[in-house]
Amino acid sequence: METKKKILIAIIAIIIIAGCIVVGIKGFNVSLYLREHDTLQYTFEQKFNKDDIISIGNEVFGEKDFEVRTVEVFDDSVYIISETISEEEKQALLEKLSALYQESTDEETNTEQTAENVADTETNETINTDSETTSVVDELVEGTDYNVYHDSKIRLRDLLRPYILPTIISAIIIIVCMIIRYKILKSEKVIKNTLKVIGKSIILLLLLLSIVAILRIPVSTWILPGMMFFVLIYLVINFEMEIRRKDEKAD
């Protein structure tokens, strides 16, 4: 076997083994929304800017993964989703969310200050803002102004279940058609060629899944159709190469 081919096989084998280890230890990186998570729902009294919420999320959660989703038709409610939301994080979020449009309302009602009064005014404003913020958070009512939920995961198997039967049936029919195709093309080793293609398809699937696991690519509903399409592309390219080799031999 050529050296290049041996190196390629070795790399593929290492990636697949590493992928299996990663899956065994950590599993796939299922996307946050599908995983078990905490949700803070907050209702504004006006339309909000999603980017403002994302900024607040970055401040509170830091490096921790989180998502922001708009709720409702009038875009006045938001879901902030994270794997866990501690009590401190919840309080910090509520403070910042309640202050978010409160500050802009205060700015609109402020009158012009002279330069000498700015320092005093700022100090007073800070004290006033702090006390207003604290009192606003205290005034928030769980169940009305905000809600905190702990949501279970959506099982991947539930999402993938509709794909299983059509994929299996498609695979069986494709294999049968492959065998017929090799017979029509008068290939010498029909079963061997068919098994070779099936084997390479499976290795491709394992390789792709390993890459997804190692690189921690978020896994969602696209995983099964995505993998299937890669295999289909491989099959098409493989059959195309076989025809070219046959044509070249004939020439």
Partner 1 sequence: MGKKTLSKKLMAILLTLISIAIIVIAFVGIYMQQLNKLKNIVPDATYSSEIDGAIEYRLSVDNTEEEAEVYVDDEGNIRGEVANGNSTSSEDWENNTGFTIESQIIRQNSDDVLNAENYEKTKGIIEKRLDSMGATDYSIRLDDNTGYMVVELSENDDINYLYETAVCTTGKIEVIDYQTGVVLIDDSHIVSASVYPYSQDGITYTIYLNIEFDEEGAQILNDISTEYIAYTNDNGESVTDYVSITMDGSSIYTTYFGEEYTDSAISVPLGSNISDEDTLNAYIESAQSIATIINLEELPVIYTQDNTGYLIQSNIDDIALLVLKVVLIVLLILITIIFTIKYKLKGFLAGIFNAAFIGLLILILKVLGIVISISSIISIGLLIFINVLFIKKYLENLKNETEKSYLQTLKSFYSVIFPIIIVAFIYTMFSVNSSITGIGMTLFWGLLIEILFNTIISRYVLSNINKK
Task: Give contact residues for partner 1 (rule: CB under 8 A).
Answer: 33, 50, 67-73, 77, 79, 149-154, 158-159, 162-163, 165-166, 169-170, 173-174, 177, 181, 220-222, 225-226, 228-229, 232-233, 235-236, 239-240, 243
- What count of other Cβ atoms lies within 10 Å of the Cβ of residue 81? 22
Rounded distance, CA 218 to CA 30, Å?
A: 5
DSSP string of 197-227, one letter each residue: HHHHHHHHHHHHHHHHHHTTPPB-TTHHHHH
CB of 83 to partner 1, least distance (A): 15
CB of 222 to partner 1, least distance (A): 5
CB of 77 to partner 1, least distance (A): 7
**β partners of residue 66:** 82
- Of 226, 240, 236, whose CA–CA distance to 167 is shortest? 226
Reading the block at residue 213, the tokens are 């696991």
CB of 75 to partner 1, least distance (A): 8
Rounded distance, CA 92 to CA 86, Å?
A: 10
Q: Which amino acid is at 107?
A: E
Give strand ranges (E) for the chain. 37-43, 66-71, 77-82, 146-151
What residue has token string 């879901």?
79
Handedness of CA 22, 27, 32, 37 (dihedral sign): negative
- Give the CA radius of gyration of the chain: 29
- Residue 71 φ then ψ, to 5°: -115, 140
CB of 61 to partner 1, least distance (A): 16
CB of 5 to partner 1, least distance (A): 24
Reading the block at residue 64, the tokens are 């921790």
CB of 171 to partner 1, least distance (A): 9
CA atoms lying within 13 Å on the CB side of residue 149 = 13
